[in-house]
Amino acid sequence: MGIFDAWAGFGVTFRTIFRKTFTQGYPMPGQEKVTAPRFHGRHQLNRWPDGLEKCVGCELCAWACPADAIYVEGANNTDDERYSPGERYGRVYQINYLRCILCGLCIEACPTRALTMTNDFKLADTSRELMIYTKDRLLAPLLPGMEEPPHPQRLGADEKDYFLGLPPTGVPDTRTGPVNTEEVAS
Nearest of 94, 96, 92, 93 to residue 123 by alpha carbon = 96
- Nearest-5° Cα angle at 102, 97 to 108: 120
Query: Does 25 appear as a known binding residue?
Result: no
- The reply, when asked if residue 65 is annotated as ligand binding, is yes
> Is 43:133 a contact under the CB 8 Å cutoff?
yes
CA distance 73 to 90: 6
Contact between 120 and 41 under an 8 Å Cβ cutoff? The reply is yes
| Residue 96 marked ligand-binding | no
Is 135 assigned to a binding site?
no
Q: Is 58 annotated as a binding-site member?
A: yes
Tell me if 83 is assigned to a ligand binding site: no
Tell whether 61 is in a known binding site. yes
Angle at 102 between CA 96 and CA 108, to 5 degrees: 105
User: How far apart, in whole angstroms, are the C-alpha atoms of residue 140 and residue 118?
Assistant: 10
Nearest to 177 by CA among 52, 87, 77, 80: 52
Classify 52 as helix, strand or coil. Answer: coil
Residue 2, C-beta contacts closer than 8 angstroms, at least 6 positions apart? none
Is 55 labelled a binding residue? yes
**Residues making up the binding site:** 55, 58, 61, 65, 100, 103, 106, 110
Q: Specify binding-site residues for [4Fe-4S] cluster.
A: 55, 58, 61, 65, 100, 103, 106, 110
